[in-house]
Structure 1
Amino acid sequence: MGTVHGSSVLLIMSKRRKGGTSGPQVKLAKCDQTQPQLPLPLRDGETTEKLQDAWSRSLDVETSCVTLQAKPFRHCIIKNYLSEEFIAKLETDLSELSFNTKSNDLYSFKQTNDLKTADSPSIGAFASLLKEKMKDWLVEVTGIPLNDEVAITSSIYEHTDTLLCHDDELEERRIAFILYITPPSWTMADGGTLDLFSSSEGRIKPENVVKSLLPTRNSLVFFEVTASSFHQVAEVLATDKRRLSMGGWFHGPPLARPAQSPEPKVPLKPWTDGYFDMVEDWVNPLYFDDEVLARIQQDFEDNSEILLEDFLKEDKVQTITTALQAKDLKWTQTGPFNKRHYEQVDSTSMSELVQQVAKMFQSEAMFLLLGRLTGLTLQSEDDGEEESHGTPKCWGEVRRWRHGYYTLMHDEDPHNNDFSLDSMFYLNSLDWKSEYGGYVSYIAKGEDEELLTVVPKDNALALVYRDSDTLRFVKYINTRATDRQTSGNQDGSFFEVYNAYYE
């Protein structure tokens, strides 16, 4: 951590003589170090013109103080933005503020309230610098007509904290900025980098991280906020350091946002005929007992969810887990990063056993069993009935989850358009802890309160009935999960057979 120094005010003592009489001693302030200035290179007209030209033509340029780059979107790094003395003062004053814990599908970190009215000379001085001098400089360099609105907060990211892929577009945000107050010893191994994503023209979807900026102490990063300014704060891996920063947005007239192409509907299909023998051979006999079924159905009707432990016979669990760990089984990553990031099995590489298990969960026999377990109408109505529900359908995936994987909540998510029964069957998740992430969280649309959390449990089937106003996400799996190693699994991953059933 930096050494804290007090404000340096030089007091000059002078004597005034008038008529041979010694006058009063007067204290004169040579300079006020509490008022920060823009770095000298930013006050140099030649440097500003060079940056202005590069910005307007989307070119790269580098000076001793400033690095401006155009790809994957225009961003700028200013080194040694303030004096170390002032940075140390900010660090001290920020440590006396209250930071609120913030955690949802997108992020996990601590943050202050808006600092516009913070009762701290150093914070107030920094805010004034942004509003009175930095804003005008940015307008000159970028040509963006900024107004007087500047939002500013301070954030702390500690071990496993992260902010996942997003574009920052909201209201009238035009330029985002971050001032880093991290320890001087911060390295790439500590994580917490500002990752920038490439995106396809016309698609406005993040593709891959193409640049990772180290949060170097006393550097200020800013970038233009657009529909393609996808970025994230990578997970902090350091256990003994805090990633402290101040950041926010300069505002201006909003840009017209390009129309978003809706994601294609997930294709639904009717059940696969048969599989009665396989279901009977694989599923724990307990779940065919009439009394047990009656109790489960009542619990489900009361709560709209249930966890069925030891769902498959133990020898079958070992068989399918081994098949999913096979080295020749291929996995495909899903996306885009601003909505989801995990792996699903490549159907072309599935062994016959994996194929049969996937089909079993989408079979007529499984539909009928789930209907008895939940009381839902998961079987076809007679053709002659006027109030026919039609043929029940489903869709599903065999997934692999490990460090760095997640899904985010989105109102336009096609998986959330209808009433459905979510079915999550977990494998290789022995001793999984919620502190790793990887749990499923259900949230009512428009609210922050969590309705239900489903933590992966080995050989357990979780069933949740939800409506169109209930959103779900899988919490980011953090680095703690890599400490969990099971037989034949060195990366701490687990498997999920996920299916959504529709009446």
Structure 2
Amino acid sequence: MNCKRQRDDSDNTEKRKKRKKREEIAALSPLLEDEDVKRGVKEAWSQRAQYSHGGLELDCHPFPHCIIRNFIQSESFTENLQRELLDLNFHEKSNDLYKFNQSDDLKKRKEPHITGLSDGGTLDLFSTDGHFQPHSVVKSLVPSWNTLVLFEVSPVSFHQVAEVLSEDKCRLSLSGWFHGPSLERPRRHIEPPFPRSPHLPRDETLLLEWLNPLYLDVDYQSQVQQEFEDSSEIQLKNFLKEEKFKEVSEALRSTEVQWTKRGPPNRRCYEVASLESFPQCVNACWELLCSEAFFLLLSNFTGLRLHYLSPSDEDEEEEKDQEDEEEREATGSSGDTPSANKNNKEPSTPVCVGELRRWAHGGYTLLHDGDASRAEYALDLLLPLSCPDWQTEFGGFTSYVANEEDEELLTVYPEENSLALVYRDKETLKFVKHINHRSSTLPIGDPCRRAVYDFSFVYYE
């Protein structure tokens, strides 16, 4: 046993020697020890001015940030660090694009930094509007070897890491925060909601003109409702008549439709069509989705009360109360009826709000801090158009998640002329996954054919 202990001690000593041999001191650039440089940076930072000296650059546009090249003095140290990092097990996040990498948490976080160790996506810095919301990318920093970037987390320090486009390169970096006193946060900007509208007075003629006759069959509508009530979602394929679908799809690619980018980037990035610029057939399709007849059809599909003619749970209760009252009158019993004790509640008017959207590379929507508090019971409608070759790996699908949970409840993929209906409660949130550069592999030609178009409506009882 003594011999074994001596051998173990000898092995441990040898390991310590090897470890010491491998250890290197991570000495920083001598530039950072220069008193004149430190004084110059401090002065410029406090005055929101520019400053540069050697491999150090300080800029205050769009917010103060500092770039330090050759941050670590030893080249061999950074190379060994890279090798060590690449030996780690990295786990891909597939449910990550619904929170924006904006100012992070202002509470105690002060100096986020990114050390670029290989070529990859740029660090994009955003300008802000009068509401302290990100507006557009005004500066992009290309990652470079052994370069440190730091900036103060503030109400305007909105930033993102751009998508890595190269298939054979990766963006390997270290990031973190130095914590300090909390900063005062400005009052949160609340976006005004889109105005909601009741149905348009259009009759069933529109349905006969536009819809696949299968969905006008009463027995089939009952079958759809049964399936919807079981799962709270359904997809109705070949929803529009083929000739109408083709007509609208072609019209959406015409130059007369005016598209406007919707932001801000910490909430969404896609284009929306101006209602005034709709071609005639597109306008007719819009009116279809807003029509009284369509509200009634949706009621038949879902069992929701989106039309006064559709039955509801309240109607069944009233019928039962009426039967009970008639029974009491027949037996001569007295007393207050349940219905007499109920408040006379005026039924709400069903309303809707909609958009015609265009999605291309870089498009997305995100969950936001205030979404959960404003969530309502609602019926979502999606009608994708003109996306025959769209693939799952491109992104652009709608994900439904439970509040405070990471697991997806439902994923709706773009499938042209397939009407998706999803009922969500106050605990269900949704976002559209970022459309990545793989979507650019679609057939070369008209760029509009690389886009997904969809009607997106929300209906409220």
Same fold (TM over 0.5): yes
Kindly indicate whether the alpha-carbon contact (under 8 Å) linking 1:402 and 1:491 is maintained by their aligned counterparts in 2: no
Q: In structure 2, what is the equivalent of residue 502 of structure 1? A: 460
Q: Structure 1 residue 353: deviation in Å?
A: 2.2
In structure 2, the CA distance between the partners of 1:336 and 1:165, relative to structure 1 (3 Å rule), is farther
Measured in 2, the distance between the counterparts of 1:89 and 1:414 equals: 45
Please say if 1:220 is aligned against 2:148: yes
Measured in 2, the distance between the counterparts of 1:44 and 1:32 equals: 29
Instruction: Identify the structure with the greater helix proportion.
Output: 2
Amino acid in the other structure paired with 2:249: T
Q: In structure 1, what is the equivalent of residue 184 of structure 2? A: 256
Measured in 2, the distance between the counterparts of 1:258 and 1:237 equals: 36
Kindly indicate whether the alpha-carbon contact (under 8 Å) linking 2:257 and 2:274 is maintained by their aligned counterparts in 1: yes
Q: Secondary structure at the match of 1:250?
A: coil
Please say if 1:60 is aligned against 2:50: yes
Aligned ranges 1:434-449 → 2 under 5 Å: 434-449=392-407
In structure 2, the CA distance between the partners of 1:411 and 1:273, relative to structure 1 (3 Å rule), is farther
Kindly indicate whether the alpha-carbon contact (under 8 Å) linking 1:275 and 1:360 is maintained by their aligned counterparts in 2: no
Measured in 2, the distance between the counterparts of 1:318 and 1:305 equals: 26
In structure 2, the CA distance between the partners of 1:352 and 1:490, relative to structure 1 (3 Å rule), is closer
- Give the alignment's TM-score, normalised by structure 2: 0.85
Measured in 1, the distance between the counterparts of 2:440 and 2:100 equals: 19
Segment of structure 1 superposing worse, 491-500 or 435-444: 491-500
Q: In structure 1, what is the equivalent of residue 327 of structure 2? A: none
Aligned ranges 1:161-180 → 2 under 5 Å: 165-180=101-116
Out of 363, 367, 391, the position equivalent to 1:405 is: 363
In structure 2, the CA distance between the partners of 1:414 and 1:282, relative to structure 1 (3 Å rule), is farther
Q: Secondary structure at the match of 2:112?
A: strand
Kindly indicate whether the alpha-carbon contact (under 8 Å) linking 1:105 and 1:408 is maintained by their aligned counterparts in 2: no
Q: Secondary structure at the match of 2:286?
A: helix
Amino acid in the other structure paired with 2:93: K
Segment of structure 1 superposing worse, 301-310 or 260-269: 260-269
Aligned ranges 1:452-471 → 2 under 5 Å: 452-471=410-429
Kindly indicate whether the alpha-carbon contact (under 8 Å) linking 2:115 and 2:174 is maintained by their aligned counterparts in 1: yes
Measured in 2, the distance between the counterparts of 1:489 and 1:195 equals: 25
Kindly indicate whether the alpha-carbon contact (under 8 Å) linking 2:203 and 2:291 is maintained by their aligned counterparts in 1: yes
Measured in 1, the distance between the counterparts of 2:201 and 2:308 equals: 12
Out of 37, 60, 63, the position equivalent to 1:70 is: 60
Amino acid in the other structure paired with 1:468: K
Kindly indicate whether the alpha-carbon contact (under 8 Å) linking 1:429 and 1:457 is maintained by their aligned counterparts in 2: yes
Out of 69, 72, 76, the position equivalent to 1:79 is: 69
Measured in 1, the distance between the counterparts of 2:442 and 2:78 equals: 40
Q: In structure 2, what is the equivalent of residue 288 of structure 1? A: 216
Q: Secondary structure at the match of 1:175?
A: coil
Q: In structure 2, what is the equivalent of residue 365 of structure 1? A: 293
Aligned ranges 1:31-430 → 2 under 5 Å: 34-82=24-72, 83-106=74-97, 165-182=101-118, 186=119, 192-201=121-130, 203-380=131-308, 386-413=344-371, 417-430=375-388
Measured in 2, the distance between the counterparts of 1:105 and 1:276 equals: 43
Name the Cα RMSD after superposition: 2.3
Please say if 1:479 is aligned against 2:437: yes
Q: In structure 2, what is the equivalent of residue 121 of structure 1? A: none
Q: Structure 1 residue 490: deviation in Å?
A: 4.8
- List alignment gaps of at least 5 residues for structure 2: 1-16, 319-343
- List alignment gaps of at least 5 residues for structure 1: 1-26, 108-162
Number of residue equivalences: 411
